[in-house]
Amino acid sequence: MKISLISVFPQLYDSFLGTSLMKRASEKGLIDVQASSFFSYVEPKERIDAPAFGPGAGMLLRPEVVQKAIEDHEGRRGKALRVFFSPHGKLLDQHLLTSLAERAQAAGHLMLIAGRYEGMDVRVEEHFADEIVSVGNCVLMGGDLPAMMLLEGLLRLVPGVVGKQESVTCDSFFGPFVDYPSYTEPLVWQGKEVPAIVRSGNHGAIEQWRQEQAVERSLAGHFAWTRSSELDARAMKVFKKLLPKHYMVLMHDEIDLGEDKVGTTSITSIDIHDGARSARTYGVEQFYLVTPLVDQQMIAKTLLDFWVKGAGVTYNPHRHDAVSRVRMSTSLCETIAAIEEREGVRPLVIATSAKSVEGVRSLDYYSQGEVWSQHRPVLLVFGTGKGLARSAFDQVDYVLGPVQGFSDFNHLSVRSAMAVVLDRWFGYNPKMIPGAKK
Ligand SMILES: C[S@@+](CC[C@H](N)C(=O)[O-])C[C@H]1O[C@@H](n2cnc3c(N)ncnc32)[C@H](O)[C@@H]1O
Mutation probe of ligand 1 site: the residue of 116, 120, 140, 149 with most atoms within 8 A of C-beta? 140
Q: How far is CA 65 from CA 31, 73, 367, in A?
A: 26, 13, 46
Distance CA 126, CA 82 (A): 12
Angle formed at CA 159 by CA 154 and CA 161, multiple of 5 degrees = 70
User: What is the pTM for the complete model shown?
Assistant: 0.93
Per-residue pLDDT of 294-310, as tens digits, reads 999 999 999 999 999 99
Q: Which residues contact 364 (CB under 8 A, 6 or more apart)?
A: 400, 401
Question: Is the CB of 150 inside a 6 Å radius of any atom of ligand 1?
Answer: no
pLDDT at 438: 52
Question: Is the CB of 106 inside a 6 Å radius of any atom of ligand 1?
Answer: no
Provide the b/e sequence for 328-363 (b: ≥16 CB within 10 Å): bbebbeebbebbeeeeeeebbbbbbbbeebeebeeb
Q: Which atom of ligand 1 is nearest to the CA of 136?
A: 19
Question: Is the CB of 92 inside a 6 Å radius of any atom of ligand 1?
Answer: no
Question: Is the CB of 10 inside a 6 Å radius of any atom of ligand 1?
Answer: no
Judged by DSSP in three states, 5 sits in: strand
Question: Is the CB of 57 inside a 6 Å radius of any atom of ligand 1?
Answer: no
Q: Which atom of ligand 1 is nearest to the CA of 58?
A: 6
Mutation probe of ligand 1 site: the residue of 139, 144, 145, 150 with most atoms within 8 A of C-beta? 139
pLDDT at 354: 86
Question: Is the CB of 86 inside a 6 Å radius of any atom of ligand 1?
Answer: yes
Per-residue pLDDT of 206-216, as tens digits, reads 999 999 999 99
Length of the chain as a residue count:
438
pLDDT at 328: 98
Which residues belong to the active site? 87, 118, 156, 171
Q: 56 CA distance to ligand 1 centroid (A)?
A: 17
Question: Is the CB of 116 inside a 6 Å radius of any atom of ligand 1?
Answer: yes
Mutation probe of ligand 1 site: the residue of 8, 82, 86 with most atoms within 8 A of C-beta? 86
Q: Which residues of the chain have pLDDT under 70?
A: 436-438
Q: 55 CA distance to ligand 1 centroid (A)?
A: 19
Residue with CA nearest ligand 1 atom 27? 119
